[in-house]
Structures are given as C-alpha cells and as structure tokens.
Structure 1
Amino acid sequence: MKSVDLFAIGNALIDQEFKVSDDFLLSQNLQKGTMQLSDGETQSTLYQNLQASQNYKGQASGGSAANTTVAFSALGGSAFYACRVGNDELGTIYLDGLNEAGIQTTEKSISDGVTGTCMVLVSEDSERTMHTYLGITAELSDAQMDFTPLKSAKWLYIEGYLSTSDTARKAVKVARQIAKENDVKIAITLSDPAMVQYARSGLDELIDGAVDLIFCNEQEAMMYTETSTVEDALAKLKLLSNEVVITMSEKGALVANQNEQYVVAGRKVTAVDANGAGDAFAGAFLYALNQGSDLRSAAQLAILISSEVVAQFGPRLDVADYAKLLQNFQKECA
C-alpha cells in the first residue's frame, strides 16, 4: 500500500437529500441544523414520509470525514479512509466512489451488515438537518483498519461523530498512539452541536487531552467550552490544541495558533445546501497546511472551496472542480 499524507477515520454513509419545509421538520420532531441518530425502522418510515411529501434531490456518498478526505485528495493530496461498510450494493457504491476519487481503502472495511444511510433535509434557508441510521458503521473498530499508511502519514484526521461509538473510540485510541509514535499530527472536528450536547464525554476521549488542530463552528465551540463568546471559546480551545479553526458561516473563519490569530473574511454566494461545507473546509485547510501554507492562506482556500459546496446540492463537488478552483486561487495569489 502506498504512503499517504492524510489518514482519516470516520463513518461511511450514503446520503439521501431532500428539500424540506420547516413545517415538515416540526411535524417529525427534528431539531433543525443538527444530526439525530435513529434505528433502521424509524429511518425507513421517515424516508417514506419524505418521498410522499417533500422534494427528493438525489443520492450521494457521504460521511463527514469522507467528504473532508475527498476534498483533500481532489486538491492533490494523497489519502486513506478507514471506515466500515456492509457487504451490500450501497457498500460497493461507497468504496468505489472513494477509489474513483483517488482515495485508498482496504477490503477490511467490508463486513456483514447494512451500510449506513443519512437523510439530509435541506430547508429553505439552506440549513441541513440530518437523520442518520449508522448501520454497520456503528460497529467500526480497529479490526476494519489497516494502520500501515498511518505510520508514514503527515496527518491523522478524526471525525467527531465517532464519539457515540464505543468500538470506534477504542479504534481512535489505537490510531492516536500510532500517530504519536510516528510524529503524525492529529486533527479532529467536533462535527455537530448534537455531539457536543449528547456525546461530550466521547469527544473528550477522542481529543484525549490534546491534539494539534481542532475544527469546529461557532455554536460547537461555545457549547464545548461552555462560553458565551467565540473569543472566550477560542482561548479555552487553545489549551487543548496547538491550532484552532472556528468557522463562522458567511462571516468567514477565526483561525489561530499559540502565537497569532486571524479573522478571515467569508465569500458571498447564494446558499443552496450547507451539507458538507464544514467538511470541505477542513479538507482544503489541511491540504493547504500540508503544502506549507500559513493559517491565513489555508483559511482563504478553505473558504473558497467550502463556499462552492454551499452553492450546490450535495456534500461534494465534482472531483475536477476542486483542482480548477485551486488553480484559480493560485493565480489570484500570484
């Protein structure tokens, strides 16, 4: 297996996207802007209700860390994705999609069971609400992972959604130890306000006292640090991480290390679907850092890529579009 720059661990989910009304969210008791875990039967009932009354927009391979890994790879980085899919049609579709995007996977990821699915509900204001049946990915463990590429990687990337799984947290602990033994930097995303609210102890375990880079949005940052301002949240997060990125939607991003911090302006686009925007930001930011960019330049590229994701339906751009955006960005910076 070839060496990689990025070794990512996360859930493997097939997204089903729908344009929905706020009234529909209320009728289904779904909290707007968050992710809710569910069982297969409830997921099936919701899917039927969506098909009967809402606007279906299509199917896409998802999973937060997978979206990040696709962005990283499509921009020119090399990456491996550790996940778990079922030995079913959706599992084949999922892994084939990653491989077509140039991302390495392992056959260890395939096991008996059902591949996870996520109903992505996009409201009129472009906010995404997610209803997730994890399927077999809920049992992700180190048995599904080939850690060989991690030993020579530059970054280990951890998805905060894994905080709900006992076996996944144990797998991350193994990965963190390998990373530390081989001087691999560790990055994590808090993923979702619901993870901070309902799986706080799991996130603490994933962070394990200190990491090199934390990604989060404003709400997650303040909830996790139990503060009321982004500035206070940043101060506390810097105690846990050498570098911190707090995304702020159209306002841009607050990026900092132990010596400096910047507010990098956002980019105006017509928002269509926020699903995957934070994931794309993380992938582009990590790619830029890996290429030697400073925090400000990395954030500028990440804002460009993530804003284009927001301007379309689906969590990922076409693979070729990432490279085109990078070329335009480099020309403007030259």
Structure 2
Amino acid sequence: MATVDLFAIGNALIDQEFKVSNEFLTQQALQKGTMQLTDGDTQAALYQQLQDTQSYKGQASGGSAANTTVAFGALGGTAFYGCRVGNDDLGAIYLNGLNAAGIQTTTQSISEGVTGTCMVLISPDSERTMHTYLGITAELTAEQIDFEPLKTAKWLYIEGYLSTSDTARVAVKQARELAKAHGVKIALSLSDPAMVQYARQGLEELLDDGVDLLFCNEQEALMFTNTENLDAAIEILKLKNQHIVITQGANGAVIIDPAQQFNVAGRHVDAVDTNGAGDAFAGAFLYAVNAGLNLETAAQLAILISSEVVAQFGPRLAIESYTELFEQFKNAQQECA
C-alpha cells in the first residue's frame, strides 16, 4: 500500500436524491437540515412515497468523509478510505466509484450484509434533509480497516456521523492512538446538528482530548458548546482544539488558530442542493493546508469548491471540475499578487 496524505474513516452510503416540497417533509415528520437514522423497512416505505409523489434527481455514492476524501484526491492529494460495505451490487458500485476517483480502499471493507443507503431530500430552499439506513456500515469495526497506510499519512480525518456506532468509535480510538504514535495530525467534523443533539456522548468520545483541526458549522458550534453566541462557543472550542473552522454558508467561514481569528467572505451562487457542501469544504481545506497554503488561502479555495457543489445536485463534482476550479483559483491568485 502506497503512502497517502489523507487517511479517512467514515460511513459508506449510496445516496438517492429527491427534490421535495416542504409539505412532504412535514407530512413525514422530518426535521429539515438534519440527518435521521431509520431501519430498512421504514426507509423502503419512504422511498416508495418519494418515487410516487416527488421528483427523483439521481443516485450518487455518498458518505460524509468519503465526499471529503474525493475532493481532497481530485485536487491532487493521495487518500485512503476506511469503511464497511455489503457484499452486494451497491457495495461494489461504492468502492469502484472511490477507486475510479483515485481513492485507495481495501477488500477488508467488504462483508456480508446490506450496503447503507441515504434518502437525500432537497427542499425548495436548497437545504438537504437526510433519511439514512446505515445497513452494514452501522457495524463498522477495526477489522474492516487496513491501518497500515495511516502510519505514514499526514492527516487522519474522522466524520462525526460515526458517533452513533459503538464499534466505529472503538475503531476511531485505535486510529487516533496510531496517528498520535506516528505524528499524524487529526481532523474531525461534527458533521450534523442531529449528531450534536442526539449523539453528543459519542461525539465527545470521538473528539477525546481534542484535534489539530475541527470542522463545524455555526449551528453545530453553538449546540455543542451550549452557548448562544459564536464568540463564547469559540472560546470553549479553543480549550481542546488547535485549529477550528466554522462554516457559515453563504457568509463564508471563521478561521481560528492559537494566534489569530479571522473571517473569510463567502461566494454567492444560485443554491440548488446543500448536500455535500461541508464535506467538499473540508476536503479542499485539508488539501490546501497539506500543500502548504496559508489558512486564509485554504479557506478561499474551500469556499470556491463547496459553493460549486451547492450550485448542482449531488454531493460531489465531476472529478475534472475540481482540477479546473483549482486552476482558475491559482490563476486568480497570481493576478491578485
């Protein structure tokens, strides 16, 4: 296994995207903008109603950390993804898709069971609401992960959605210990307000004694710290974490490190689908930092990439789009220099 820059662990999910009405979300008792876990039968019933009454937009390989890893790799980094899929057609589609994007995986990820699926519901305001059946990924353990590439990686990336799985948290603990033993920096995303609300203890376990880089959005930051204003939240988050990136949608992001705090302006696009935007932001930011760019430039690149994800349906761009945007970004930077 070749050395990689980024070693990521996360859920493996096939996304089924639908454009839905606000009334449909209300009828299904779904909380807009969050992820809700469900069982296979309940999701199958929802899927049938979606097909009958709403607008189908397509299928895509998803999973938060996987989306981040694809963005990182498409921009020029090397990456490995640890996950668990079923020995079924969707599992093969999932891993083949990652490999086609240049992401390394292992056959250890394949086991008996059903590959997880996520109904991604896009409301008229472009917000994504997710209804997730984790399938076999709910039972992700260290046995499905080849930790060897982690020993020489630059970054370990952990998605907050793993907070709901007892076995996944054990695997993350092992990964964190190995990363620290080999001088690998650790990044983590809080992932979703629902994880903060319903899986807080699991998130705190994933975070443990802190990370080198924490990603969250403003709502997650406030909820996780039990505060009502961002300044108070930042002071609490700084107690454990070296660097913090708080995204604010169209308003950009707040970047915090031990020596400074600053805002980076957002970029206006006609929003279509927010699914995967935070994942793309994290992937581009990690790539830029790993490539030696400063924090402000990293945030500017991340905002460019994530805003383009928002402007289309689906959690990822076409692979060539990442590189095209990066070239445009570098040219614009040179013109401003």
Q: What TM-score, normalized to structure 1?
A: 1.00
* Secondary structure of the structure 1 residue equivalent to 2:242: strand
**What is the CA-CA distance between 1:261 and the residue it aligns to?**
1.2
Are the aligned partners of 1:271 and 1:311 in contact in 2 as well (CA < 8 Å)? yes
* Amino acid across the alignment from 1:69: T
Aligned counterparts of 2:291 and 2:215: Cα–Cα separation in 1: 19
Percent of aligned pairs sharing the same letter? 70
Aligned counterparts of 1:231 and 1:328: Cα–Cα separation in 2: 34
* Amino acid across the alignment from 2:233: A
Matches within 5 A, 1:105-120: 105-120=105-120
Matches within 5 A, 1:21-170: 21-170=21-170
Matches within 5 A, 1:262-277: 262-277=262-277
Q: 1:7 maps to which residue?
A: 7
**What is the CA-CA distance between 1:262 and the residue it aligns to?**
1.1
**What is the CA-CA distance between 1:239 and the residue it aligns to?**
1.0
Matches within 5 A, 1:181-196: 181-196=181-196
Q: 2:248 maps to which residue?
A: 248
CA distances 1:36-87 after superposition (whole Å, capped 9, x unpaired)? 0000000000000000000000000000000000000000000000000000
Q: 1:179 maps to which residue?
A: 179
Q: Which aligned runs of 4 or more in structure 1 are off by greater than 2 angstroms?
A: none
**What is the CA-CA distance between 1:274 and the residue it aligns to?**
0.1
* Secondary structure of the structure 2 residue equivalent to 1:156: strand
CA distances 1:250-286 after superposition (whole Å, capped 9, x unpaired)? 0000011010111000000000000000000000000
* Secondary structure of the structure 2 residue equivalent to 1:77: coil
Structure 1, unmatched stretches of 5+, are none
Are the aligned partners of 1:40 and 1:133 in contact in 2 as well (CA < 8 Å)? yes
Aligned counterparts of 2:231 and 2:103: Cα–Cα separation in 1: 36
Task: State the number of aligned residues.
Answer: 334
CA distances 1:197-218 after superposition (whole Å, capped 9, x unpaired)? 0000000000012110100001
* Amino acid across the alignment from 2:77: G
**What is the CA-CA distance between 1:233 and the residue it aligns to?**
1.1
CA distances 1:273-313 after superposition (whole Å, capped 9, x unpaired)? 00000000000000000011111110000000000000000
Q: 1:209 maps to which residue?
A: 209
Aligned counterparts of 1:234 and 1:154: Cα–Cα separation in 2: 26
**What is the CA-CA distance between 1:19 and the residue it aligns to?**
0.2
